[in-house]
Amino acid sequence: MKPSVRTTRSAVMLLAAASALLAPLTVPAALAATPKASAEAAAKNDAYLSKLPPLIPRELFFGDPEIAGAQISPDGKWISFLKPYKEVMNIWVKPFDAPFDAARAITADTKRPVGAYFWTEDSRYVLYVQDKGGDENFHIYAVDPDAEADPTTGVPPARDLTPFDNVRAAIYAVPEATPNKIIVGLNDRDPALHDVYRLDIDTGERELLVRNEATVAAWVTDLAGNVRLAYRQKEDGGFEMILVANGQLGRTIYSCSFEETCAPLRFHKNGRQLYITTNQGQDVDLVRLMLLDVDTGETELVESDPENQVDFGGPIFSDKTEELIGTVYVGDRVRIYPRTKELAADLEFLRKKLPDGELNLRAGTEDERFMLVSVSRDVNPGQVFLYDRERKKVTKLYDSRPELPAKHLAPMKPVRYTARDGVEIPAYLTIPKGVPPRNLPAVVFPHGGPWARDTWGYDPTVQFLANRGYVVLQPNFRGSTGYGKKFLNAGNKEWGTGLMQHDITDGVAYLVREGIADPRRIGIMGGSYGGYATLAGLTFTPDLYAAGVDIVGPSNIITLLDSIPPYWGPVRKIFLLRVGDPADPEDRKRLEAQSPFFHAQRIRAPLLVIQGANDPRVKQAESDQIVVALRDLGRPVEYLVASDEGHGFRGETNRLAMFAVIEEFLAKHLGGRYQDEVSPAIRQQIDALRVDVKTVKLPEPPAGAEAARTAPLPQPEAGALAAGTLQYKTRFAIQGQQLQFDSTVTIAPATLDERPVWKVATAARTPMGDASDVFYLNPQTLVPLRREASQGPARIHLDFSEDTVSGSVRVPQGEMPVALKLEAPVLASDSALEATVAALPLARGYRVTFRNFDVQQQRVRLWSLRVEGTETVEVPAGTFEAYRIVVEALDGEGGGGTLWVSTEVPRRFVRGEFKLPPAMGGGAVTKELVGQGAP
């Protein structure tokens, strides 16, 4: 069976190991020491604390597990699982019938725990993905469990199938028909786009199947491994599904607006129909499961929520027949609906034989005789069983956390409360066990995403906080997924000062109104968007919270949006529509109003900030800037930074150190209890993570960075631009590859719409085909009036005015409109910019800022320019006395470089050494003048 909710082989493949970095692993080991409550904390509220269950060691919540993540190989020969190897989580295997004591490790990563892994369809290899220090540049590794161990590591050798730096691999399919060849995506050519390859596991060789030249976000194969569908974001922010044949994109067969949901799941076994999830349509709110005929475009409803409460959750497919045999919905609890008699009988049998709780059907053997089943509850992280379907026998394999005392944990209850505008908000409430729910300290725990949701079940952080004496509220505020498009879209542009934060605030009011929480002892804590909500809560409702814990949360929405990782480029538009567009003046004003950084003076409550130094989503600058702002205001702020983590803490020592600091911080400010015993290793790690806030320094912003957004553009010298023809040779060095091409730049007077202009035309002969790029410039100011570019079937047409850039970008798959409001005029780019710089009043010490339009990212970029002096430069066209000019990006996104412009009039651009920004691969470009003549 192939359950597609929670833990599945297919989900791992489709998500390409996008592991839940904020969630700890599921099975920690216990320590021998018994912790005790702090005498100071207990004295604050002795009567209340004395009624709580025994203090449970934090190691039982957050320590690495003894066993977790079990899977059965498709042939039934092996059971694999995760277990510490040299104190780091790695993959182990044991023969199917052997005890766990007979297992042996097959990976030996000593720096970072291995997370997502799965078996190839022929059971020859275990594939897993791994990044470095949380940078999310995942590599795909293969290991043969039958191979002999390497004497140096003690485990079989693991081969890196995608050995490329700064490249994020994605796994799209592991076809049964070609088990030694998988379908993967690699963004080595362009960091923002994944090209599709067939990757040979045996040899590591790859075959290009589709070159991504149309900003495709994801690719879908049929069951045989043929790339059949592209899924991409439209210019209006919606999504579309496009047919693919022979590596080429064809027609769009389905689409939806950005306020709707539509996504491909997988092809039907008939190869003609596609399972999709969608709530397209004016009268449709909840996401449904549909079948789409890829030839005719006709759709048919497969199923929607029988209780009409929530979006479709996920499908369950048969490994043997490839048929849909069940569906899953996540309401207050998980609901499974069988679609075959066989699955109905299995579920009935399992519910009788297994403990009460949420059933999770995991992938099993290919013949479907054996499968793994886990059962979890709010007070029990779960037990894993082996189910023999033929003999109707269930055998317990292991407990997820055998030493965790479930009897002392607190039940989680689904609740509803009414927001200020009358909308009902779903949430989960956990009250410490053993005490009446009256006047207790509380922690509001908003989820990350924000386009996600909380669910019922075991949550180690929730149980940890409840054991320390806190009521925990998890609100599914508007903007959360799973409750239909109206609920989701109600959160659009409502961060911080809007409905999303109001719903959290109204949850606090619910706790106080019901008498559950002491209004003087309420804290807020969260990760990612939950970290932002924490900062927003302290900023915009400063009287509400007594303390806050921000884990990898952004403090400035503008810098967050400007630093979106390159591989999110194909879906960047959804952030601009749902959150806001910093390039739009009205949006920018609102985003500033919603960003805690700009209003830090309002924060009064103590704040603990936690950050991973390698986080590619919420960069360390987001935490640095709020820490510095509060420090300089004299407000209480503490800071932890892990040099080897990204978007959340995966390492066990880091995790334990983080929660040791969190519980002491909350106890100090909210009055709960904490485990004051800390092992020497964890104490040492706390010291390594803790940052003296006096030492935090922000990088000096380049001069004029803010002013450059609207500052007057530099004016050229009268008559400085001269007609001529210039030949250049350009060399690229990127991702270990070399590329070279020749170009000719012709500068000449011309007319545009019957008015005189300068025309700067570039003609290039490149390995990708001939290219043409023409700018028409205002003769007085040299600001662009029009750009027309082409290469093969691709076309760019842009018209510029003082306050807009408009036009279109046409690719073989369709035309994308460009419509951008400008705060101020911009200069040209590329060769036209080089000609413009040569016409400026250059002199030693000359400095200026300017703007230009980045057509790839469709946004304005800010730059500084300074003349450092003059020097002699030798290029193929001759030897020149030249100004050395340094151009630097003011937006922190990289790029820029050094230009040499001849001092003799007419001045010419003679040489350039440029650094590509990370979004374009971070390579180097050298351009030299090789000849010149009359136009």
Q: Give the 3-state secondary structure of 376-415.
A: EECCEEEEEEEEECCCCEEEEEEECCCCCCHHHCCCEEEE
Cα–Cα distance for residue pair 834/585, rounded to 1 Å: 29
Note if 647 is an active site residue: yes
600 DSSP 8-state letter: G
The crossing angle, in degrees rounded to 10, of helices 652-670 and 680-689 is 80
Helix (H, G, I), strand (E, B) or coil at 549: strand
Cα–Cα distance for residue pair 935/763, rounded to 1 Å: 13
Q: Are 671 and 468 in contact (CB under 8 A)?
A: no
Owner of token pair 């699982």:
81
Nearest alpha carbon to residue 823 among 580, 573, 581? 581
Dihedral sign, CA of 302, 308, 312, 316? Answer: negative
Q: Are 900 and 924 in contact (CB under 8 A)?
A: no
Q: Are 89 and 67 in contact (CB under 8 A)?
A: no
Q: Are 746 and 934 in contact (CB under 8 A)?
A: no
The crossing angle, in degrees rounded to 10, of helices 529-540 and 499-513 is 70
Q: Are 865 and 848 in contact (CB under 8 A)?
A: yes
Q: Which of 550, 615, 773, 891 is catalytic?
A: 615
Cα–Cα distance for residue pair 396/402, rounded to 1 Å: 13
Q: Are 114 and 106 in contact (CB under 8 A)?
A: no
Task: Report phi then psi at 587, rounded to 5.
Answer: -60, -45
Q: Are 916 and 922 in contact (CB under 8 A)?
A: yes
Cα–Cα distance for residue pair 490/467, rounded to 1 Å: 35
Cα–Cα distance for residue pair 351/486, rounded to 1 Å: 35
Q: The tokens of 872 are what?
A: 């002699």
Helix (H, G, I), strand (E, B) or coil at 11: helix
Q: Which of 528, 555, 563, 829 is catalytic?
A: 528
Cα–Cα distance for residue pair 749/903, rounded to 1 Å: 23
Q: Give the 3-state secondary structure of 706-723.
A: CHHHCCCCCCCCCCCCCC
Note if 615 is an active site residue: yes
Q: Which of 194, 447, 647, 669 is catalytic?
A: 647
Determine how β-strand 440-444 pairs with β-strand 517-527.
Answer: parallel
Note if 378 is an active site residue: no
User: How many angstroms separate the first and last alpha carbons of the chain?
Assistant: 70
Q: Give the 3-state secondary structure of 485-518.
A: HHHHHCCCCCCCCCHHHHHHHHHHHHHHHCCCEE
The catalytic site residues sit at 528, 615, 647
